[in-house]
Amino acid sequence: MIEAARRGRLAGQALFVVLFIAILAARLLPLNPGRIGWPGPDLSICLALVWILRRPDTLPVLLIAALFLLEDILLLRPLGLWAAIVIIGTEAARRREQHWRELPFMVEWLRVAILLALMMLANRFALALFFLPLPPLGQVILQFIATAAAYPLVAGLLHWPFGLRRIPGDPDTRHR
């Protein structure tokens, strides 16, 4: 029983890492070089939040920190800033996962959108505090809207082929 539970956690972690690296690789592809368009959704944060709210026991904080730090390095963002904000946001969601479990998806989506807005505001505030270049506010708002709109799509895509769904009941009595 213990081996099966551990194997399930390791398989979940491996699947998360593969999906995260695939999203990161897609972001790094030069699909339209020189063209500035509408900012797309941040699918990596959607993936992390969906995973934390569906299977919080399979996603350790150090794995999230390492992957988002890698993303900061490869996307040339301030080193560790977005990773730290993501850790704070995902841990806040992890602590409230028990309370959100029985609520309808629309309420979860609203709460995740509020959490995303707070995370993006914290990032913008930290950039301004240290006099780092700020992205245009319009692009940040458009990225927030795109990310919040992509959350149900990511949740649906993870639910259908991978079977990642909310586990009802008390977290102490569920199977891990």
Is residue 9 a contact partner of residue 58, using CB atoms and an 8 Å limit? yes
Instruction: Examine the pLDDT at 34 and tell me if it is beyond 50.
Output: yes
pTM: 0.88
Q: What is the mean pLDDT of residues 127-156?
A: 95
Average pLDDT score over residue span 30-44 = 81
Burial class (CB in 10 A: 0-12, 13-18, 19+), 70: middle
Gap between the Cα atoms of 171 and 1, Å rounded = 17
Q: What is the pLDDT of residues 100-136, one digit of tens each?
A: 778 899 999 999 999 999 999 999 999 999 999 999 9
pLDDT (mean) for 17-34? 88
Mean pLDDT of the chain: 89
How much is the pLDDT for 98?
80
pLDDT at 174: 43
Q: Which residue has the higher pLDDT, 46 or 40?
A: 46
Is the Cα torsion angle 134, 136, 138, 139 positive or negative in sign? Answer: negative
Domains of the chain (ranges, CATH numbers)? 2-159 (1.10.1760)
Please write the tens of the pLDDT for every residue from 59-106.
999 999 999 999 999 999 999 999 999 999 999 999 988 877 788 999
The pLDDT of residue 175: 41
pLDDT score of 167 more than 70: no
Instruction: Kindly indicate the confidence band of residue 6, based on its pLDDT and cuts at 50, 70 and 90.
Output: confident
* Number of helices (H), then strands (E), in the chain: 6, 0
